[in-house]
Amino acid sequence: MHVLFLCTGNSCRSQMAEGWARKFAPSNIQVQSAGIEAHGKNPRAIAVMADAGVDISKQESTKLTSAMLAWADVVVTVCGHADEHCPALPPTVHKIHWPLNDPAKAAGTEEEIMAVFRASRDDIRQRVQQLMSELAATA
């Protein structure tokens, strides 16, 4: 089973989802992430994931390719933009949409912005754990 997390720039939400999935996926589920574009990794996403014990610093910010779509059994779009701009998927690919807010758009003090990143990280963790449980039961 192959799971692809897709967002706009593959810098934050999809990176966190990939990190959590690598932690929680059973051995028969492979994961990766990509973006409609590649914006580079968000340092705050790396920091909040490290605080939770997950190192995403070596993951790459990758632009979506047709080979990735051909590889995927499940595509999870983690933002409205990616959901709207996701290319047509083969009929065998199951698409899931998570309408997650973009923590990179948070404003305020550094402490307030990091609180938004932590809330996003925790939401994504819960969603990924649930998805991995569901996929493991069907794989």
Task: Return the half-sphere exposure (C-beta side, CA atoms, 13 A cut-off) of residue 105.
Answer: 7
Is 12 labeled as catalytic in the residue annotation? Answer: no
> Which of 4, 36, 79, 124 is the catalytic position?
79
Nearest to 87 by CA among 63, 57, 51: 63
Which residues are within 8 A (CB) of 117 and not within 5 positions of it... i.e. 6 or more apart?
44, 45, 47, 48, 103, 106
Which is the catalytic residue, given 4, 6, 7, 116? 7
CA 79 to chain centre: 10
Catalytic residue (one of 86, 96, 113, 114): 86
- Please state, in angstroms and rounded to a whole number, the distance separating the CA atoms of residues 69 and 89: 7
Annotated catalytic residues are: 7, 79, 86
